Structure formats: C-alpha cells, structure tokens
C-alpha cells in the first residue's frame, strides 16, 4: 500500500469517531486506502507500471488525499457548504497531482527521495538529444561536422 492507517490517523483528527458502527477502524480505513490505491493505479497505468515501487512521496500524497476524501465524504452531507468544500478539497488536490503526473508536467522518478531512478519504469519513450556543430566555407559548403557530446 502507498500509505498506512497511521498516515490517515495523523491527518484526520478523531478518526475513530468517523468509523461507522459495527466496523473495525483499521479494516474500514484500510478498505478506503485500497480504494484510493486502485483509483491511482488505474489512472496512472497508461503512463507508468503500477503499482509503483518504491513509493514516491507524490503518490503517498495522492493516496492520503483520496483516502481522506473517501473517509470524510461518508460523514458529511452537502447541506453544510463549508464542510463539503473542505472534504472536496482533498479530492481536488489528489486529482490535480494525478493530472500533473499524467500530462508529464511532473514525473514520478523526479519526485522520489531515492537516488536510483532506474527502479521506475515509464511507458513513455526517452530520446537522447543530439547536437551537431558544422563549419561552412564562404560559398555555404560544409567543411566539418562534429558533435557537442564533450560539452
């Protein structure tokens, strides 16, 4: 899993009071975490191999925001606009992060705290840039061509 029960408990004050009667808090929250992870993996699978391991901070943040949204939306109604705006902000933040990952604005490997980015697999093609340096005479004839690999 991208996050754990303790992460959600640290984010939501009095988490235990939000658990429906007859449910075990750990199981109920883990179900919400699993739902968030499934959604994230489904969305990111067009660009990345999922589930992503090791888990970069950006995915932990997405998972935490979605999980909090799932936990809180069951406990608040649309009758109180401030509460629903607060709950919906978790969803909005997660969606924005996922969209940034999908459109390539940010990359999972670039958000990782690990130094070995070879552990991440992307379904996008990476093409090396090639630069050349040519010299021409006065008539426009090419005299020499070289690469800028050493620069």
Tokens read off for 135: 């010299």
The answer on pLDDT for 114 being more than 60 is: no
This model's pTM is above 0.75: no
pLDDT score recorded for residue 150: 53
Q: Is residue 138 part of a domain?
A: no
Tokens read off for 142: 């090419």
Q: Who has greater pLDDT, 1 or 145?
A: 1
Q: Is residue 149 part of a domain?
A: no
How many Å apart are CA 90 and CA 111, to the nearest integer? 20
Report, as an integer, the average pLDDT of 32-55: 95
Q: Is residue 42 part of a domain?
A: yes
pLDDT score recorded for residue 79: 63
Q: What is the mean pLDDT of the chain?
A: 81
Domain range for residue 96? 5-119
- pLDDT tens for 87-98 read 889 999 999 999
Q: Is residue 99 part of a domain?
A: yes
Cβ neighbors of 42 (< 8 A, separation 6 or more) are none
Cβ neighbors of 123 (< 8 A, separation 6 or more) are 46, 47, 48, 49
- pLDDT tens for 71-82 read 998 877 666 555
Rounded to 10 degrees, the C-alpha dihedral 71/66/42/1 comes to: -80
Name the domain count of the chain. 1
Q: Is residue 151 part of a domain?
A: no
Residue 108 main-chain phi, psi, to 5 deg: -55, -45
Q: Is residue 143 part of a domain?
A: no
CB burial string 114-126: b at 16+ within 10 A, e below:
eeeeeebeeeeee
pLDDT score recorded for residue 3: 97
The answer on pLDDT for 47 being more than 50 is: yes
How many Å apart are CA 99 and CA 19, to the nearest integer? 30
pLDDT score recorded for residue 137: 73
Q: Is residue 128 part of a domain?
A: no
CB burial string 79-97: b at 16+ within 10 A, e below:
eeeeeeeebeebbebbbeb
Instruction: Return the CA Rg of the chain.
Output: 23
Q: Is residue 91 part of a domain?
A: yes
pLDDT score recorded for residue 24: 95
């Amino acid at each position: 899993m991208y996050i754990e029960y303790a992460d959600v408990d640290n984010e939501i004050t009095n988490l235990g009071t939000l658990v429906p009667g007859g449910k075990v808090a750990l199981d109920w929250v883990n179900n919400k975490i699993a739902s968030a992870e499934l959604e994230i993996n489904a969305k990111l699978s067009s660009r990345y191999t999922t589930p992503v391991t090791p888990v970069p901070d950006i995915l932990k943040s997405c998972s935490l925001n979605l999980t909090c949204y799932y936990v809180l939306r069951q406990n608040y109604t649309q009758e109180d606009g401030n509460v629903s705006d607060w709950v919906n902000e978790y969803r909005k933040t997660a969606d924005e992060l996922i969209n940034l990952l999908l459109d390539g604005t940010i990359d999972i490997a670039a958000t990782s705290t690990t130094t070995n980015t070879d552990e991440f697999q992307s379904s996008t093609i990476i093409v090396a840039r090639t630069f050349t340096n040519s010299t021409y005479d006065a008539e426009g004839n090419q005299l020499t061509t070289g690469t800028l690999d050493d620069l």
